[in-house]
Structure 1
Amino acid sequence: MPTEPPTETGLPEPADDQASARRTWDRRALRLGLGVTLTFVIALAYDWTLAYLAPIFTAPLLQAPRAPTPRAAVGILLVTVLIMALCLVAGGVSQAYPALFLIALFPALFWTFRSGLHGGSSLVMILLLVGLMLVPMVANTTVEITRDVAGSFVGNIGISLAVTLLLFALIPPLPTEPAPAPKPVLPTAEVTRRAWILTTITGSYAVAYFSFGWTNVHTPIYIAIYAFSANLARGLTVTKGILAANVAAGLVTLVMYQLTVMAPHFPFIATMTLAVILVLARMITSDAPWAPLAGFALSVVMILYGESIIPFSDAGGANFADRLGELGMAAIYAVAALYVLDAYFPQKQAGVGRMPDPSG
């Protein structure tokens, strides 16, 4: 998730304050762009299972105001191991008892979304969503690689943490860099309402997936992330922007892929990726209202481009077209479902004895 714009903590001169803010944004953008690109290059060079997802985990780590301490980094890695172990168990249950798995999936999704809406770690939430959806669905189609899929997430997080620590060491935060603004807190009733809506959207697709024997294991994950991103916008005011960001990211990735086909050389790919990611990173770290959409576009570009060329193969074009179609379908389904459910289950107005919603 994108870093919030810095807030003023004193009364400096306007010119000095603007220059300081711009310097902060530039350093954050450089750290984010170099880190995500480095992770992508490592994934491209060494190619392990689901290597193209590693940059997606690096981005939120690099957008934090400070680097994780060594103890925190070890803790994140251990939590990842625990989550993937639980997801392997869930995968076994989904293969043997799919109905039982689907029954248990709904409360697990609700708890995950509720924790995220309450301000929990976005990285842990993404891991839980991906683990709960992807690992059991892979087990339902190809049992042999289930362990590789679960293990790849541990490797992805390990690489992401190492790159994050390196980039924060090379480009440390400025001593005068202000802390990010605190995230607004939603009322408990509103958190519960949104969590149930997101659970319904994601869980219903999972039921259809198992019922009809579908094999597109990525689509449910895209749906969950699309819906959560739109829901975080405090209403549905930016859902059109999310769709536009998806289209724009698809067009950018299409150009990148065509250039890669014309010049399939490692240095060229690395340089082109760095240029694109630096532009997106600078947009993410700005205080523009569309900065969150740039963060969303970054994830789409990495997913589309990464899976298309990691590893190099003749099926890259087919992978690109398939993944672009899945992303588009997931975006349309998630946004449409949000509109419908939000209309049928609207936010309750503040009443007597209830604190007003700070989001307005």
Structure 2
Amino acid sequence: MPIKGMSTRRTPRDQRALRLATGTALSLTASFGLGLPIPFMAPVLCLLLLASVNRPLPFKAGLVLALAALLTTGIGLLLIPVLRYYPISGVLLISVGLFLAFRFGLRGGNTLIMTFLVIGLTMISSAGIAEFDLAAMVIGALVKGLLLAVVVVAFSHGLFPDPPNAPSPPAAPPLPAEEVSRIALRATLIVLPAFLLALIDPAGYLPIILKAVGLGQQSSTTNARIAGRELLGSTLLAGLLAILFWSALSLFVHLWMFFLWMLLFGLVMARKLYALSPTRFTPGFWLNTLITLIILLGQSVQDSAAGKDVYTAFAIRMGLFILVTLYACLMVHLLDQRRQNDVQGLT
């Protein structure tokens, strides 16, 4: 029953928070229910789509995006022979490709295309070093996850459409031209060690690459003063939330309980991401927290299904995530310090 004097109309931010939480939970449930390979890929892509686009993708646009994902990630297949027979040249070539991909995104290019390029250069090529079929499986998982994400995004927009004539969120201010190359280099240096680690054990370290890609993108809006709070803080919070989520899910293990708990955690994160419950942290902090939470949970569910020790695997994975994040903070600090020294030298 509505309270007298209180408006019951939802604002655009209310709708977007509900849409993001519901879509993420639905895609997570559908991905695990359908038994898709790398099942956490679909909810991560769905989350990125819902956070970056405030309208449903037309069917043709979804197919074009899937084709673009197939082509961009397929670049990694072409790099497998170079990495296998000329490893030093292959790593240098991938380093240059990462720099160009990040610079493309920082100069206003499509963020999803940039992400697919980075995944193709790192995840696909490292998986192909171990086994070509593993690389093809990762590409297939990405395309299937993307198609599922597009369907869920359309459904979520149907459930929680923006009000008529709702204003679009302001576009992020473009970076100064002189900053683009420096930040692209920083993102490349953040992703590169995770890629080298994945060359040792591609199947075990692919999630680390995905985490590093997220850190590389997040670092583009982070300076040295807030790097620890933004990068390390979001990783630690995601680990804590993953422990709480797993403990709650253990009370009654069922696919629909997985959906309900994800919906609850997603609503809490979405309220903070859209400033319905304002905090001092940026939207990027909450988005990275939710993405990391999904990756950690997805891997834990797969470990459990495979009969592995979930808690030991989680501790190792969380430790690697923290190490990768600390390294990202270090790169942000060193490159920002170098820039400040250069500026002082010029003055």
Q: Which amino acid is 2:325 matched to?
A: A
Kindly report which structure 2 residues correspond to 1:1-360, keeping only aligned pairs within 5 A, or say none: 23-63=11-51, 64-203=53-192, 206-207=195-196, 210=199, 213=200, 215=202, 216-233=205-222, 236-286=225-275, 288=278, 289-290=280-281, 291-310=283-302, 312-315=305-308, 316-346=310-340
Offset, 1:164: 0.8
Q: Which amino acid is 2:59 matched to?
A: P
Match of 1:217, SS state, is helix
Give the Cα separation in 2 of the matches to 1:263 and 1:206.
Answer: 37
Give the Cα separation in 1 of the matches to 2:92 and 2:172.
Answer: 33
Q: Deviations over 1:229-276 (max 9, x none)?
A: 022235642532331221111111112112333422222222111111
Give the Cα separation in 1 of the matches to 2:333 and 2:150.
Answer: 37
Q: Which amino acid is 1:33 matched to?
A: A
Q: Which amino acid is 1:280 matched to?
A: M
Q: Which structure has more helix as a fraction of its residues? A: 2
Give the Cα separation in 2 of the matches to 1:273 and 1:347.
Answer: 46
- The 8 Å contact of residues 230 and 236 in structure 1, kept in 2 or not, is answered as no
- The 8 Å contact of residues 114 and 195 in structure 1, kept in 2 or not, is answered as yes
Match of 1:172, SS state, is coil
Q: Deviations over 1:290-312 (max 9, x none)?
A: 23211111001100011111473
Cα RMSD over matched residues? 2.7
- The 8 Å contact of residues 31 and 40 in structure 2, kept in 1 or not, is answered as yes
The gaps in structure 2 that reach 5 residues or longer are: 1-6
Q: Deviations over 1:304-349 (max 9, x none)?
A: 0111114734223343223212211111111112211221234976
Give the Cα separation in 2 of the matches to 1:74 and 1:144.
Answer: 24
Give the Cα separation in 2 of the matches to 1:201 and 1:103.
Answer: 15
Give the Cα separation in 2 of the matches to 1:256 and 1:330.
Answer: 23
Offset, 1:118: 1.5
TM-score, L = length of structure 1: 0.84
Change (3 A) 1:21 1:62: farther
Q: How many residue pairs get matched?
A: 333
Same amino acid, percent of matched pairs:
23
Offset, 1:84: 2.3
Q: Deviations over 1:99-153 (max 9, x none)?
A: 2211211221111110121122222222222221111111223443221111111
Give the Cα separation in 2 of the matches to 1:204 and 1:44.
Answer: 30
- The 8 Å contact of residues 188 and 216 in structure 2, kept in 1 or not, is answered as no
Give the Cα separation in 1 of the matches to 2:226 and 2:9.
Answer: 27
- The 8 Å contact of residues 284 and 295 in structure 1, kept in 2 or not, is answered as yes
The gaps in structure 1 that reach 5 residues or longer are: 1-18, 353-360
TM-score, L = length of structure 2: 0.87
Give the Cα separation in 2 of the matches to 1:115 and 1:267.
Answer: 40
Q: Please, which moves more after superposition, 119-128 or 250-259?
A: 119-128
Match of 2:11, SS state, is helix
Partner residue of 1:12? none
Give the Cα separation in 2 of the matches to 1:21 and 1:103.
Answer: 55
Match of 1:51, SS state, is coil
Change (3 A) 1:118 1:325: same
- The 8 Å contact of residues 227 and 332 in structure 2, kept in 1 or not, is answered as no
